Structure 1
Amino acid sequence: MQQLTYDDVEAAERRIAGRVRPVTVTRGDQGRRVWLALEFLQHTGSFKARGAQNFLLAHAEAGTLPDAGVTIASGGNAGLACAWAARELGVRATVFLPETASPVKLARLRSYGAEVRLTGREYAEALAACEEFAAGSGALASHAYDHPLIAAGAGTVLDEIHAEVPGLDTVVVSVGGGGLFAGVAVAARERGIRVVAVEPEGSRALNAALAAGHPVDVPVASVAQDALGARRATALAVHAAAYEGVRSVLVSEEAIVRARQHLWDDRRIAVEYAASTALAALDRTDGDRIAVLLCGANTDPSDLVEQPSDA
C-alpha cells in the first residue's frame, strides 16, 4: 500500500496554491483556549475542494485526464468538489450519489454542470456503480477519500491552521472514510500536534478498524451519514492513526445534534452534522491550544430550532 507522507502534503500545497480559499480561524467560547477552523467557507462548502483540486491538477500535469472526464461516488461533498474542480479545468464530471443524498447537495452539483446519477441507499452502492461506469466509459475514477492525492490535498488545511494559531497543540477532526483525517494526521505529526479523530457511534469505520488492526466493514446508521457514511476506512487513515498523539473518540447522535444547534444559537453558523461531530468531542479533548475543524456546511438549516428571544 502506498503511504502518505508530509512531502505529499507539501506538494499539494504548492499545486493548489491560489486555487482554494485559506481557512478562516476564529476564537471559540470565552474562557477556553479553543479556536474554530471555518473550513465550511471553502469553495463548494467543504474541505473536499482541496483534495479534488490536487487530484485533477496532478493528473493534468501528468497528461492522464481522459476525454471521458472524471467520475466519483460521494455522499455529496466530494462530488461537489470534484464537479467544481472539473469545471475549473474544463473537464466532464459524472457523479454517483446514494438516493439519501441531501437535496441541497444535489442542486449544487447540477449547478456545477455535473451529470448526477442516484444509486442505492448507501455510499458503498454508489461506489460500486461508479466503478462499473469508469470501467465501461474510460473515465478517470476519483475517490471521496481513499487516494493519496485526495488525502494530501485535504491535509493542507492543517498547516494553515497552525500558521493562524501559534502554539497549537491539538486539532479535532471528524472522520468518515478517513481522507481528511489521514492528511491532517500526517501534517500534524510533522508539527508535533495531537489529533483527536471523532466519529458518530453509529458510523465508526476508523474506530472499528483500529480495534481489528485493519480496515473492516461496519454498519452505518447516523444523522451524519450523508458525509460520514463510509462502511470502511481507508488504510491510509488506519496507518496514520497509529501515530503517537492520535486518539479515536466516538460521540452520540444526541451530542452531534446538540453541538450543531449550539453553533447556530451561539454564532448563527449552520453546519452539517459531519462538522458538528468534531465539536461534539470538545468536552473530551485535552489541550492548551485546541483547534476544532468545522469541515462542511452543505446542509438544510430548516431543522435548526429557533430559541426564544431574551427580549
Structure 2
Amino acid sequence: MERLNKVVVFTTSCVSIPVIQLLASQNRLAGVVTLSLEDLGDCRLVGDLPQLRQQLVQANIPQVDLNDTRLLAQFDYWQASSGLVFGFSHKIDAQVCDYFDGEIFNLHASDLPAYRGSNPIYWQLRNNLTQTQLTVHRLTQQIDSGEIGLQAPLAIHPFDNHQSLSLRVMQAAPQLVADFIAGYEAGAIEWRAQQGEVSLAPRVNADNAQLSWSEHTVADFIGAARAGNPHHGGVAIRVNGGTFNVMQITANSHPSYGCVPGTVLAVDKEKGLIVAAKDGAVRLDVIVAQSGYYSGYQFAVFYQLDAGMILG
C-alpha cells in the first residue's frame, strides 16, 4: 500500500502546530509551506503567522514560502510525496497541486459541502450551529470541493466563541490526521463525492460582518457576537457618534413595547443593558471601547445611555 512518508504541510496558522508535531514525531514531516507577511497583502490576515514561523524556527522545522521561485525544487530536496493543507489563507495553484499527483489533501472545519471557504468557524458560529465535522478531502482547484476521505464529528458548545472553537479544532485535528493516515496506508479510505447543499464561508469584512437592528434577529446578534469574539470585534454598534464592539450578547424576555429596533429598553444594575431587536430583545453583556472593557450596565452609565435612546 502507498505510504504518506514525506508530507508537506501548508499553513499560515498556529492551529496546525499539533498536526505538524504529530507528523514530525512519526518522521513523516518533509517541511512546512507558509507565506511571508508581504505576500499576505492584507494586515487583517496576518493573525498568528509570525508566532507560527517563530515556533517552526525554534523546533528546527524547515519552511519555505509559497511564492518562493524555488518552491518545487525545495519539494524535490525534501523528497516530498504528499501535501496536507490546514489553516492556509491562500489558494494553492495547479502547478503545486500537480506536483503531488493528486496526493494533496485539505483539512477543513465543516461538514462539506456546507461552509466552503476560508472562514468556516466564523460562519458556523454566526449561524448558531450546534454540531460540525472536521473533514479531510482531496484538494482540487475548485475550493473545498474534492472527494471526502474521512470526517470526525465535533460538537459546538452554546458558549463557544471563535477562539474556543478554533482551539478545539486544533486539539481534535491530530487524531483525525492519524486515523486518515492509518486508513490511507491500509487502503481502507472510501472516497466519496460531496453531496448536499453548498454554502459558503467567505472572509469576514466590514460589509458582511455588519448587522442592522431592523433587519437582524435576536439569534443573528447572538451568533455574530460569538463568531466575532475575539478576532473580528464581535458586533459593532454606534453610540453617540462612536463605534463600540459588543463581544457577548444574550436573549432577553424584556417586552419591546413595539419600540423601533435598536431602542434601549432598560438600563438596570440587575438586568443590564437591554435593547430591542427585530423579533425581541437582547442584553448586551460585554462591550469593548477604547477606554476598556465594560459590562452592559457599566457601559450605559459611563456613556450616558437611557431607556428610549436609539442605537446605530
- Could you say which TM-score interval applies, normalised by the shorter chain? 0.3 to 0.5
Tell me the TM-score normalized by structure 1.
Answer: 0.33
Tell me the TM-score normalized by structure 2.
Answer: 0.33
Structure having the larger proportion of residues in strand: 2
